Chain A
Amino acid sequence: MAILDDGAALQSPEKPYKTPIVAPGHTTATVTDKISSVVQSRTPRWWFIGFGISFLLLMMFLNAVTWLLWKGIGVWGVNQPVGWGFAIINFVWWIGIGHAGTLISAILLLLRQEWRTSINRFAEAMTLFAVACAGMYPLLHLGRPWLAYWLMPYPNTMDMWPNFRSPLVWDVFAVSTYATVSLLFWYVGLVPDLATLRDRSRHRFWQVVYGFGAMGWRGSAKHWHNYETAYLLLAGLATPLVLSVHTVVSFDFAIGIIPGWHATIFPPYFVAGAIYAGFAMVLLLAIPLRVAFGLEDFITLRHLQNMGKVMLATGMIVFYGYMTEFFFAWYSGNHLEQFTSMNRILGPYKWHWIGLMFCNGLAPQVLWMRRFRTSPFWLFVVSLIVSVGMWLERFVIVVTSLHRDFLPSSWGMYAGTKWDWMTFIGTLGLFLTLFFLFIRFLPLISIFEMRTIVPGTKGEPSRGSEMTEVPQ
C-alpha cells in the first residue's frame, strides 16, 4: 500500500512516511476540542442555508413520490421496451456511492491504512444515507409498491415463497444486509464519541440525548476490550459485503439475456465502479467540509491525494471494463452484442456514451499529475465529473441495452419525465438533509480514533493494531 499512501512524501520529500496524518501541534485535547466543537458550538449560518435548501429538495421528493403513488408508475418515463429507467439508474448510482464508506471503514482498517481515520466516520454516514436513498428506488419503481414485502421470504398461509432464482430477491438480501451492517458499524464506532459528547454537553437535554446514544459507555478497559473486538468483527463482516453488494446488483443485469447486460465482466467492473463513485462522493463532501469547519488539520492534502489515487486506480479498472465489453462483443462474434456496442457509440444515445467516456475515461486521467491530485479545487471538479459519469454509465447500461434489443419491431426510446428528475434530485435532497443533520449533531470525524494517531501518543508511525490500547 506504499504506492497508495505516499502523501507524506509529497510534503516532506526528504523524510518519506514521517509526515503525520494530523497536522503538527495537535494533542489529544485539541483534537477532542476541535472535533466536538463542530457539534457543540453555535450553528453557523451557512448550515441553515444549506439545510434549508436540502430540506426543500426533500419536500420536492415527497411531492414527487406522492404523485407517483397516487397516479402510478406511468408518471415516469418508463415504457415498452425500456421497463427500467431512472429508478434503477439511481438505485445503482446511490448504492455505488455507498461503497466507499464500508471500504474505508472495513477494508482500509484491516489493511491498517490509518489515514482512513479522519474520513471514515463521515464516509460511513454517507454510505448509510446513500443506501437509504438507494433502497427507496426498488420500492418506488414497483407497479404496486405496497406489496414489496412479497419479495421477502416470510412464512404465510399460501405457502408462497419468493423466486430464489431471481436476482431481485438476491438484491433484497444483499442490500438489506449491507444496510444493516453499515448501520451497526457506524453506530458502534459512534458510541465512544457519543460518550465524549455526553460528557462535554452542558445542557441537560443534550446530556440525556447523547447519553442515551452512548449506551452507558464509561471508557473502562473492559468496555474498550469488548468494543475493539466487536469493531474488528464487524469490520471482518463488512469486508465481503463491499464486494458482494455490487456484485449482486450487477447480477440484476448480468443474469438477464439482454445484449449489453448479459456479461460476465459485470461483477468486478461494478465493484470497481462503486468504489470509484464512492470515493468521488467522499471527496465531494470532504473538500467543502474541511474548509467549512476548519478541519484542514485532520483531513489533510495527504488524505485528499490518497483518495484521488484510489479514484484513479478504480477509474482505470472501470475504463478497462468498458473496453473489455467492446472486446467481448467483437471477439464473441455475436451480432447482437456487436450491434448493442455500436448502438451505444453511434445510436441515438451516443451523447450519453461520449459523455460517459469523457467523465469516466478522460477526466480522471488528470489525476496522474500531482498538481491536480493535490489541489482540492481540481479534485472537487474531477469528483463532480466522475459522479456525473457514473450516473451516465448506469444510464448507458440500463437504457441503451433495453431500447434496442432483439426484435427491431419493438425498439423504442426513453427519456425521463419531470417526475423522474424531481425524484432523483429529491433523493439528493434527502441525502443532503440527512448529512446536514449528521454534521450538526454528531462528530463527523472519529474523536477517539484521531486521538490514537496524534503524534506522541504512540510510537511513530502508529498502527491500527495499536488501537487496542486504551487512549487517554
Chain B
Amino acid sequence: MDSDHGTKGKCEAEASRRPGERAPLDLETLREGLRTKRGPELWRSLDELAATAEFEELLHREFPRQASEWPEGVSRRGFLQLAGASLALAGLTACTRQPIEKIVPYVRQPEQVIPGRPLFFATALTHAGYALGVLAESHLGRPTKIEGNPDHPASLGAADAFRQAAVLCLYDPSRSQTLSKNGRTGTWSGFASDVNAALRARQPFGGDGLRILSGTVTSPTLEAQIKQLLSRFPKARWHRWEPAGPHHERAAQVRAFGRPVEVRHDFSKADVVVAFDSEALTQGPGSVRASRDFAAKRRVQTAQPQMSRVYCIESGPTSTATVSDHRLQLPPAEIEAFIAALAQAVGASPSGSELVTDPHVKPWVDAIAEDLKAHHGASLVTGGEHLSPAALVLIHAINGALGNVGSTIVYTEPVDADPVDHVASLRELTSDMAAGRVDMLLLLGGVNPVYTAPADLEFAKALQKVEMSIHHGLYEDETSRYCRWHIPAAHELEAWGDARAYDGTASVIQPLIEPLFEGKSEIEVLAAFNNRPDAAGHDEVQTYWKTKLPGGAGGFDTAWRQVLHDGLVANTQAAPVSVTAAGPAAAAGAGEIAAAVQQARARKDAVTLLFRPDPTIYDGRYAANVWLQEMPKPLTKLTWDNALVIGPKTAERLGLRVEETVELTVGSRKTGAAVWILPGQAENTAVLTLGYGRAETAHGRADGGAGFNAYALRTSDALWAVPVEIRRIGERYPFACTQNHHALDPQGNETKLASEEAERRHVIRKTTLAALQQDPQVIQKEREKPAAGETLYPAWKYPGHAWGMAIDLNVCTGCNACVTACQAENNIPVVGKEQVLAGREMHWLRIDRYFEGDLDAPAIHHQPVPCMHCENAPCEVVCPVQATSHSDEGLNDMVYNRCVGTRYCSNNCPYKVRRFNFLRYSDRESPLAAMLYNPDVTVRMRGVMEKCTYCVQRIEQAKIEAKIEDAGAPEAGPHKIPAGKLQTACQQSCPTQAIVFGDINDPQWEVSQWKADPRNYGLLEELNTRPRTTYLAKVRNPNPRLEPTRTPHGDS
C-alpha cells in the first residue's frame, strides 16, 4: 500500500487551525523558559518571547501542549466525559464545531478507493513481540476493524481480543502526541542531533555505557538495525525485558536442551491433552492457532462421535479448563509434585511418584499416565510459564518419553531475535545503571520498566543515574517521566515494520494511515541511531528484505508486492531443531521439585500469591484501551480492575469477604488489594493479575489508577509465585462485575444459587461422549420442546433467506475475541466502571460463565449469548411503536430512529440481550472517535435500545454483492447469497470457530448442518420463543477410570 492513503488525517489536522487563530500558549513552558534565561534579558511581549526557536517550535506543533495532558484525579465517569472533550481538544480542532473548510474532490481518483466500500490490507499486529497476520479494514484511509488473515498460519482468519482492540489504541487520545525533552517540547531533528552528538562522543570508547532495552523483538529489520549499531559500538549492550515472559520456560529449555528453542504445539494431532496451569489457548504467541487446532479435536460429529480427552491440573481456573474433561485443582507445589509423579509414571524421570501422597490425587496420576501411554505420539502435555523451571523441564521430558516430539510438539529455532534470559538481562542492566556504568539508554518499543521491573531491582532509582535516557513508546508512562527524551511511538497501523509469528513466519507490517501524531516506529528510531535520522521506515524495511526476498523473474518489486498482498513472507518458518531433554536434567528437576514440595508442605496454611498476566490488559500495556478494560475477564467477569482472587475456602479461613480491602505483605514489600472470591481457585492460593494499579500520573491508562499493583510485590527471584501475608483492612472497594451484579455474599450462596438455577433451567446442556454414542438423541430427550405453531399469530414465511446462528459450546473457551470483534464492528460504546457497576454495560454479545457442582472445585462453562432473533419474539409484541420488528428474513430488527425507549422489550426479553443507552454513551462529536466508527453502522443516541443485529450491515453488503454477481445472469434471480459468503463479526474472529451463521433455509450452509445435529438445542426453548440462535450441547469425554472417583463434574 502506498503511504498516500493516510494523508487525509493530516490535512484535516492542519486545516483545522484557521488563519489568524493563535495557538494556545503553554504558559508553564514559557515560565520555565524565563526561569532558565541567562542574564537580564528583557522581553516586551509574549510574542517576542515566543520568537525564540524553542517557542517557535511549540507554536508550529500540530497539537497544543495542554491538549495532551490528562486531568488527574477524576472519577471514571468524569474521565469518560473528559475523554470526549479532550478528543476534541487534543485531536484535530480547538473548538466544538468543525471549522469551515473548502473541500476539493479528488483530481485524480486513487486506485481502488470507492467511497462506501472498505479496502482490506494484509498486515500484522504484534502482541508481546509476536505477530499475528491480520487484514485491516480501511474506510477511505481510516482503519476501522481488524480481522484475522486466513492465509496466515498463526491466524487462519481469526484474531484475538488484543488485536481486535488495536484500532481503538490507534485513535486513543491519551497516546503521547509529541516528542519531549526534559518534559518540554522537542523535535525530531533536535532528537537526531542530540543522539548524533552523544554517539559521536562515545565512538572512541566503543560505545561503552550505551545500552538498549526492549521487549521481545521478532522484527528482522529491527534486529538487523540493532546488530548494525552493536557492531559500530562493540561495547554497547542490548537488554531485554518482557514482563510476562517467557522466563521460566526459557530457563527450562536451557536446562533441558542446553539452548533456547521455540516450542510449537500442534493440538490437532493430540488425542490426549494434559494441561498444567496452562493458558495455551488464550495466551502466548500461538494461542489463536492453538485454539483452532484444539477445537478440531473437540468438535463432535454426532454421526461418529469422537473427540480428544483433556485434563487440566491447575491452581486457578483457566480458559482451557472450561473446555476440559477433567479438572483437578491443586496448589502450585502439589501441581509440581503431580508433574514429578507423572514423569516417573511415564518413564521420563527416575523419581517423583513418591511426592503425591494424597489418596484423591494418586488415581489421577495413574489414570492420566495410563491414558498418555496409550496414546504414544498423539498426546500433548503442556505446562504454563508459571510453573517452576524444574517442572517445565520434566514436562519436556514427559513429552519426549511419550514420543510427542515431532508430532504434537515441535521444537524450532527461537523466533525472537537473540534470545536471552530477560531477568538476568534486566538485572545486569539495572546493576550497571546503579553503578553508573550506563550513561546512554534507549528504552525501545514502549517498555515501561519503572512500572514493570521486578521490585527488588529498583529500576527507577537506577534510571535516575543515566544521563542520556531516551524513552520510546505509545504513551507517556511511569518510565518516560524519568527520561530525558520521550519519543512517541507510531502505532503498528501507522508505520512500516516487520515481525514474525509463533512459527517464525515473517510478515511485513504496512501502515494504513499516516501517523496521527508525531509517532516514530522502532525502526525509525534505530535508523536515527544508525545515522539515518530521515530514513523512512518503508525504506529501512525494504532495504532489509531486498537482501532476503528472491529476485525471481519479476524482481524484488513483484516479490515485495506479493508479500504485502499475502501478509506474510512465504517459507520463513523457523527451522525445526532436534533436541532431547537431557536425562540428568529431568532427574535434577524431580529432585528440585521434591525439595520445593517439602518446603511448601511445611508452610501449610501460608497463602501463595500467584502473579498472572491479565486476560484483558495483559501486563499493563493495554491499560489505556477501554475496550479491553471493559471486556469482562473470562472467569471472574470483572471489568476495569484486577482483584486478589481467592477461593471460597481460603476466604472463609481468613474471614475475608468480597470487595473487602486487604494489605498484602511479601517480605518487606506491601501493597493494598481488594478481594474477589472465585470458585475453583485452589485453597491457600491467591491470584493478582499484572497491569493494574498504575501511577496516577502515567498516561496510557484509562482506568484512573484503578486496581492493584502486582509489580510492587513481584521480585526477580519469585516472578510468578511467592508466599504472602494477607491482612484484612475491611474497607469496601466496589468491583464492576458483569455477572450477578452486586449480588455477592461471603458464603458464595448467590453464586451457588445462580449455578444451581442454571442447572435446573437447562441453560447449558451437556452429555458425555459415551452417552452420545449410545443415544444420539440424548440432548433432545433432556427437555420437552413446544411444538411449532403453538402461537396465536400466523407463522412467518421466509421465501428467501432465513438467518440463523449456532454456537458450539464444546469448543468455546470464553476468550472474548468475539465480544471485542462485535464491539469494533458495531460501534458499541464503552460505559465506564460506574455504569458497569450500575448494570449498564453495552456489549451486544456477552459470554456467560456458569459453575457446576462443588463450589470449591467446580466445572466451569462458557456460553456466548447474542440476540436469539426469536421466531416468536417477546420483544416485538410489547414495543408500542414497532421499533423492534420481524424482518422478512427472520431478523429481529431494531429501528433506532423509531425507538422511544420504553425498555419494555428488554424487560420482556428472557435472554436479556438488549442494551439500552441510559445516558449518552456514544461519542458522536469528537473527530478521532468519528474516524474509528464503522460507517455502515449507526452510532446510537441516548435513550434508544440496541442489540445484536446478526451484523445486518454485512448481510446487506453480501446481498448487494450477490445482486451484482447475478446481474449478468439471463434471468434476474432472487440474488441469493451463496453459502459461506457471509460471516458475522463474532464468527469471523472466533479462534475455535465455535460460531456459525448463515441461511437456515439452505442446507448448503454449515449452520443448517449444525442445526440438524441432534446436539442442537435452543436456550429456554420451552418458552416457545423459538430462538434462531441455538447451541450445540457440550460433550465431555471423561476417563472411565476417573469418573467414579471424586471429580468436580457432577452431571453423570
Contact = CB atoms under 8 A, between A and B. Distances in A.
Interface of A: 71-75, 77-84, 141-145, 147-148, 150-151, 160-163, 165-169, 172, 252, 255-258, 335-336, 339, 348, 402, 405-413
Contact of A143 (B739, B742, B874, B916): B916
26 contacts: A71-B919, A72-B920, A73-B916, A74-B835, A74-B919, A79-B839, A79-B840, A143-B901, A144-B941, A160-B881, A165-B878, A168-B880, A255-B878, A258-B907, A258-B910, A405-B912, A406-B910, A406-B912, A407-B848, A408-B740, A408-B754, A408-B758, A408-B850, A409-B740, A409-B758, A412-B743
B768 interface: no
B919 A80 contact: no
A71 B839 CA distance: 18
B906 to A, nearest CB: 5
Contact of B915 (A80, A147, A162): A80
B903 A83 contact: yes
A168 B901 CA distance: 12
B754 A257 contact: no
Nearest to B841: A80
B471 to A, nearest CB: 40
Nearest to A403: B743
A83 B863 CA distance: 23
Contacts of B910: 257-258, 405-407
Contacts of A79: 741, 838-840, 918
Given A144-B901, A407-B848, A162 B880 contact: yes
B881 A142 contact: no
Contacts of A143: 899-903, 916-918, 942-945
B906 A83 contact: yes
B840 A257 contact: no
B8 interface: no
A143 B945 CA distance: 9
Contacts of A406: 761, 910-912, 1020, 1023
Contacts of A256: 874, 878, 904, 907-908
Given A78-B918, A142-B900, A255-B877, A409 B839 contact: no
B312 to A, nearest CB: 23
Interface string B1014-1046: 000001100100000000000000000000000
Interface in B873-904: 874, 877-882, 898-904
Contacts of A255: 877-878
B848 A412 contact: no
Given A78-B903, A406-B1020, A83 B898 contact: no
B512 to A, nearest CB: 35
B797 interface: no
B781 interface: no
Contacts of B882: 160-163
B907 A339 contact: no
Given A142-B900, A144-B901, A406-B1020, 14 more contacts: A72-B918, A77-B838, A79-B838, A83-B916, A144-B942, A160-B882, A163-B881, A165-B878, A166-B878, A256-B907, A256-B908, A407-B1020, A408-B757, A413-B741
B760 interface: yes
A409 B849 contact: yes
Contacts of B300: none
B761 A335 contact: yes
- The 9 A-B pairs at the shortest CB distance, nearest first, are namely A143-B901, A143-B943, A74-B918, A79-B839, A83-B903, A74-B919, A410-B912, A409-B848, A408-B754
A463 B898 CA distance: 54
Given A79-B918, A407-B911, A413-B743, A165 B903 contact: no
A256 B876 CA distance: 11
A80 B840 contact: yes
Nearest to B637: A409
Contact of B865 (A80, A257, A409): A409
A140 B193 CA distance: 64
A314 B986 CA distance: 54
Given A258-B908, A407-B763, A411-B743, A142 B943 contact: yes
Contacts of B906: 80-81, 83
A73 B901 contact: yes
Interface in B98-120: none
B943 A73 contact: yes
Contacts of A348: 743
B715 interface: no
A79 B835 CA distance: 9
B823 interface: no
Given A72-B942, A257-B908, A335-B761, A408 B877 contact: no
B881 A162 contact: yes
Contacts of B920: 72
Contact of B874 (A147, A161, A257): A257
A414 to B, nearest CB: 8
B412 interface: no
Contacts of B757: 339, 408
A281 to B, nearest CB: 27
Contacts of B949: none
A73 B944 CA distance: 10
A197 to B, nearest CB: 43
Contacts of B835: 74
B903 A84 contact: yes
A412 B850 contact: no
B221 interface: no
Contacts of B877: 163, 165-166, 255
Nearest to A252: B904
B901 A151 contact: no
A165 B739 CA distance: 33
A161 B761 CA distance: 38
Contacts of A172: 880
A369 to B, nearest CB: 42
A161 B880 CA distance: 9
A80 B846 CA distance: 13
A149 to B, nearest CB: 9
Contacts of B283: none
Contacts of B918: 72-74, 78-79, 143
A147 B900 contact: yes
A72 B878 CA distance: 22
Contact of A148 (B761, B900, B944): B900
Contacts of B943: 72-73, 142-144
Residue in A74, A150, A255, A402 with the greatest tally of chain B CB atoms within 10 Å: A74
Contacts of A258: 907-908, 910
Contact of B741 (A74, A83, A144, A412): A412
A298 to B, nearest CB: 44
Contacts of B919: 71-75
A77 to B, nearest CB: 7
Contacts of A409: 739-740, 754, 758, 763, 846, 848-850, 863, 865
B504 to A, nearest CB: 41
Contacts of A141: 902-903
A84 B758 CA distance: 24
B755 interface: yes
Nearest to B758: A408
A144 B900 contact: yes
Contacts of B911: 406-407, 410
Interface string B681-708: 0000000000000000000000000000
A160 B897 CA distance: 12
Contacts of B944: 143-144
Nearest to B863: A409
Interface string B853-882: 000000000010100000000100111111
B898 A160 contact: yes
A336 B762 CA distance: 12
Given A166-B878, A256-B907, A407-B848, A150 B898 contact: yes
B846 to A, nearest CB: 8
Residue in B835, B840, B863, B908 with the greatest tally of chain A CB atoms within 10 Å: B908
B1017 to A, nearest CB: 14
